[in-house]
Every structure is written in C-alpha cells, then in structure tokens.
C-alpha cells in the first residue's frame, strides 16, 4: 500500500513522459540520455518504496543500454535498414511505453484507493461542516493543528465516527490527515 506522497512522486515521474517523447520526436541529442536517466529515477523511486517492479524497470534500462550498443530489442521490427540511430530511438520509445504500462498498472489500485478516500473525506467534511465541527473560517494558528482538531471532533462524533474509521481503513491515519487537510482547505476554508 503506497502512501499519498509516494504515489504522487511516481505520478510526477509519469508526468515527465510527454516531454521525453517530444525530445525523441524532435531527435534531440540528449533524448537518449534523458530516457535512461528517467528509467534510473523511476527504478530508484520504486526501489525506495519497496516495489518489486523496480527489477522490471532495471531490465528495461538494460534493454535500452543494449540498444545503445546496437542490439535490437525483442519485439521491435524495422521496415528497411535498421541504422544504429533507428535502433536507439525505437528502443527508447519502446522502453518508455513498457515502463509506463508496467507502472500505471501497478499503481492503479493505490490510485483508486486514494480516490475513494478523497470521496469519503469530502462527504465527512460536508457533514462535519453542517454540524459545526469544522469552523467556516480558517482559524488562527498552526494549520495542521486546526485540521487535527477537526479530525478529532469528527472521530468523536457518533454519527460520522464510522465514516472516519472507514477513511483511516482506506489510507491510514497519516494520509487521512493529508486528505482531510486538502479537502477542508479546498471545500471549507478556500471559499
């Protein structure tokens, strides 16, 4: 189970894909190096999150390294002559696609879980606001302490305590505060 901050770190890497593809399309000199650097970064992030998928990304990086030396990766076919430049560019594009597909599939469940937590939090915030458990104006003082106070009131309320427990069950106590902070800031204090 990935925490929100870790999932967002992976999403940040996936958001770099369009610029990498653009570099490949423009045939920029540093495109291959940037693709390799991206694979290394992705591998490190996955490894630091203890996801075995890091090994798959390492294999893709190895396939890119082989292509940089002229080896045509499995699954890539050419019409006409396969120059070393064509091999490198095709391999880089293919490794980006494979990495993206693998990572997107691996984090899909965590993304759905966090989306569900945000939906539950939004409902809890609406009820808590209606009941007066969340002040309508941002209180003075430490922002996280204000969210913690609202969270404690929500957990203690007999009508919404079960929803609060469900939120903790979805994302854990730390990420529940993150989801609530974002939701309260957006829906209550951001108006």
- What is the domain count for the chain? 2
Q: What is the pLDDT of residue 43?
A: 97
Q: What is the pTM of this model?
A: 0.85
- Do 48 and 127 share a domain, yes or no? no
Measuring CA to CA, which residue among 102, 108, 93, 105 is closest to residue 18?
A: 93
Which residues have C-beta within 8 Å of that of residue 183, sequence separation ≥ 6? 118, 121, 122, 125
- Do 122 and 100 share a domain, yes or no? no
- Do 98 and 134 share a domain, yes or no? no
> Which one of 108, 130, 165 terminates a domain?
108
- Do 94 and 120 share a domain, yes or no? no
- Do 90 and 117 share a domain, yes or no? no
- Do 16 and 78 share a domain, yes or no? yes
What b-and-e string marks burial along 65-75, b requiring 16 or more CB atoms within 10 Å of the CB? eebbeeeebee
* pLDDT tens track, the chain, 191 positions: 899 999 999 999 999 999 999 999 999 989 999 999 999 999 999 999 999 999 999 999 999 999 888 787 777 776 777 778 888 888 999 999 999 999 999 999 999 999 999 999 999 999 999 999 988 887 787 878 888 999 999 999 999 999 999 999 999 999 999 999 999 988 888 75
Q: What is the pLDDT of residue 87?
A: 83
Q: What is the pLDDT of residue 137?
A: 80
- Do 38 and 117 share a domain, yes or no? no
> Which one of 46, 77, 108 terminates a domain?
108
Q: What is the pLDDT of residue 135?
A: 84
- Do 119 and 102 share a domain, yes or no? no
Q: What is the pLDDT of residue 191?
A: 59
- Do 144 and 66 share a domain, yes or no? no
Domain that includes residue 94, residue range: 4-108
- Do 103 and 140 share a domain, yes or no? no
Q: What is the pLDDT of residue 55?
A: 96
- Do 53 and 123 share a domain, yes or no? no
> Which one of 108, 138, 155 terminates a domain?
108
- Do 99 and 170 share a domain, yes or no? no
Q: What is the pLDDT of residue 104?
A: 96
């Amino acid at each position: 189970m990935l925490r929100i901050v870790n999932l967002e770190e992976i999403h940040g890497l996936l958001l770099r894909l369009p610029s990498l593809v653009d570099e490949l399309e423009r045939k920029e000199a540093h495109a291959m190096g940037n693709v390799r650097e991206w694979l290394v970064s992705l591998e490190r992030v996955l490894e630091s999150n203890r996801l075995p998928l890091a090994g798959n990304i390492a294999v893709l990086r190895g396939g890119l390294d082989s292509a940089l030396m002229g080896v045509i990766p499995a699954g890539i076919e050419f019409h006409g002559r396969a120059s070393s430049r064509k091999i490198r560019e095709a391999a880089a594009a293919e490794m980006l696609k494979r990495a993206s597909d693998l990572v997107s599939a691996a984090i899909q469940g965590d993304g759905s879980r966090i989306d569900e937590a945000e939906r539950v939090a939004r409902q809890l915030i609406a009820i808590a606001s209606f009941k007066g458990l969340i002040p309508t104006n941002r209180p003075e003082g430490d922002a996280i302490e204000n969210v913690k106070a609202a969270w404690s009131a929500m957990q203690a309320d007999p009508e919404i305590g079960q929803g609060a427990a469900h939120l903790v069950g979805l994302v854990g106590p730390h990420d529940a505060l993150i989801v609530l902070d974002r939701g309260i800031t957006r829906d209550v204090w951001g108006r």
